[in-house]
Amino acid sequence: MIEFDRFVLKNGLRVIHHYDPSVSTVVLNTLYNVGARDENPKKTGFAHLFEHLMFAGSKNVPSFDQEIENAGGQNNAFTNNEYTNYYISVPVENIETAFWLESDRMFQLNINDSSLKVQKGVVVEEFKQRCYNAPFGELWHHIRELLYKESPYRWPTIGTTPAHVEEATLEDVKAFYDKYYHPKNAILSIAGNLNLENTKRLCEKWFESIDRVGSENKNKYIEDTGFTTTIRNETDLSPSPAVFLVWKGPHLGQQGALELDVFADMLGGSEVSTLQEALVKGEGICNAAECFYLRGLGEGVFFLYGIANPGVSHETVKNRLLEVMWSYIENTADCVFDFESIKNKAYTNAQFELINPMNKAQKLAFWENAGNVNGINQELENMRFLDFQSVINQAKTTLKSDSVSVLNYSPKKQEV
């Protein structure tokens, strides 16, 4: 059970505090309620660009990394389709440095032509390396285009094309910052050896005077309705053919998402899973066969794939993936043990994760952004009392042949 306090500053900044006197550090985590789904379809990649820009300096801090290093701490960030998260971890005696740094870039980020040019170059190069020069680099572009037609989930976090970032103007970027990076659209979570009294004092000192005007993101998005069976064929840098089968399912706040997450781990989440034993070790038609479930705040995606060995067709891989999965679902006696093992592992791992102040700070901010900060505790209870039959029933309901999208990859022909 994670105990926490919650309060809101006069400028609308929400603060979640967890006191842990057993550690010598404090984590200051800032979550901004903005991700790739909030971008203009013609100007994608901006949330990811800001992940980089936020380290380029602010009004009073020319170098974040240098200040963190001087304080004996560490800092980083990550972005996804739904939110952007920044974190700083420092020894408790240097915690005010973290408050100063984080508040200064919320107050006035130093966005200028020079910093924008540098970070645009970094982001564009990252796009090219990750998407154009790596096996399956455009996988999430293709998957999202298969699943969504109107929804802003139809492009990945890195953006639709590097041209959107290359063509971004200083005015574009400043407008995005003003709209989303302000107190009313942010959550500050503090976990570690800092008591509530000092937390409130430092929050009021460093954040309450930030008076930048803005509205909280309401997270209202176009949703695609219904399911269609879609097949897409692509060429890729991979040396082997591959088949990806994907289904849309319930998102984090809906019944069934946890069940599908556990089912995916049961079926194909380890080296000794049924998928691996049947298709890789047994039949030898694949050199990899796995599955997982993506549980987002506004989307759920079940992902089942196999990478074929030489001479094995896409159709063979697809058929065997489905046959193995459905046999597993129908023969419930074979997977009861898997369920208990995976459930216990997931519950234990979740408990161990919450020993770390960094994980606690990030999860507290995540659940507050999801609309229920106590979800950090409820998730553990839901996992603990998860029912086997509910997992199987959800798999049967979601993983139907008339709602699957298929993506086939073929290796690019070698140029002579």
Tell me: do 166 and 74 sit in the same domain. Answer: yes
Mean pLDDT of 190-197: 98
On whether both 134 and 264 belong to a single domain, the answer is no
Q: Find the length of the chain.
A: 416
211 inside domain:
no
In a domain, 128, yes or no: yes
Do residues 239 and 186 both lie within one domain? no
Say whether both 247 and 386 belong to one domain: yes
What's the rounded mean pLDDT across residues 55-77?
Answer: 89
> How far is Cα 392 from Cα 247, in angstroms, rounded to an integer?
16
Tell whether 181 and 271 lie within a shared domain: no
Residues whose CB is less than 8 angstroms from the CB of residue 206 and which lie 6 or more positions away in sequence, other chains included: 96, 99, 100, 102, 103
Tell me, what DSSP letter sits at residue 131?
A: I
Q: Which of 206, 239, 263 is the C-terminal boundary of a domain?
A: 206
Residue 222 inside a domain? The answer is no
User: Per-residue pLDDT averaged across 387-392, rounded?
Assistant: 95
Q: State whether 242 and 176 are in the same domain.
A: no
Q: Is 297 found in the same domain as 173?
A: no
Q: Are 63 and 186 in contact (CB under 8 A)?
A: no
Give a yes or no: residue 353 inside a domain. Answer: yes
Banded model confidence at residue 268, pLDDT cuts 50, 70, 90: very high
**Cα–Cα distance, 410 to 241 (Å, whole number):** 5
Pairing of strands 286-295, 300-308: antiparallel
What are the b/e assignments for 126-139, b being 16+ CB within 10 Å?
A: ebeeebeeeebbbb
Residues spanned by the domain of 68: 5-206
Task: CATH number of the domain at 301, please.
Answer: 3.30.830.10
Confidence of residue 144 (pLDDT cuts 50, 70, 90): very high
Whether residue 294 lies inside any domain: the answer is: yes
Give dist(CA 19, CA 8) in Å, integer. Answer: 17
How many domains are contained in the chain?
2
pLDDT higher than threshold 50 for residue 416: no
Torsions phi, psi for 78 (to 5 deg): -150, 155
Predicted local distance difference test score (pLDDT) of residue 329 = 93
What is the pLDDT, as a whole number, of residue 65? 86
Q: Are residues 262 and 144 in the same domain?
A: no
- pLDDT number for residue 224: 86
> Do 100 and 201 share a domain, yes or no?
yes
Residue 39, in any domain of the structure: yes
pLDDT at 364: 98
Q: Final residue of a domain: which of 150, 171, 206?
A: 206
Give domain status of residue 215, yes or no.
no
Give the tokens for residue 10: 């006069």
Q: Which of 172, 206, 240 is the last residue of a domain?
A: 206
User: Of 53-62, 212-221, 275-284, 346-355, which one has max mean pLDDT?
Assistant: 275-284
Residue with the two structure tokens 């998928």: 275
Portion of the chain with pLDDT greater than 90, in percent = 84
* Whether 385 and 275 share a structural domain: yes
Collapse the DSSP code of 49 into the 3-class scheme (helix H, G, I; strand E, B; otherwise coil) and give the result: helix
pLDDT at 377 over 70: yes
Q: What is the pLDDT of residue 228?
A: 66
Query: Are 34 and 110 in the same domain?
Result: yes
For residue 223, being part of any structural domain is answered with no
**96 within 8 A of 190, measured Cβ to Cβ:** no
* Confidence check: pLDDT of 27 > 90: yes
**Matching residue, tokens 């706040």:** 253
Same domain? 200 vs 234: no
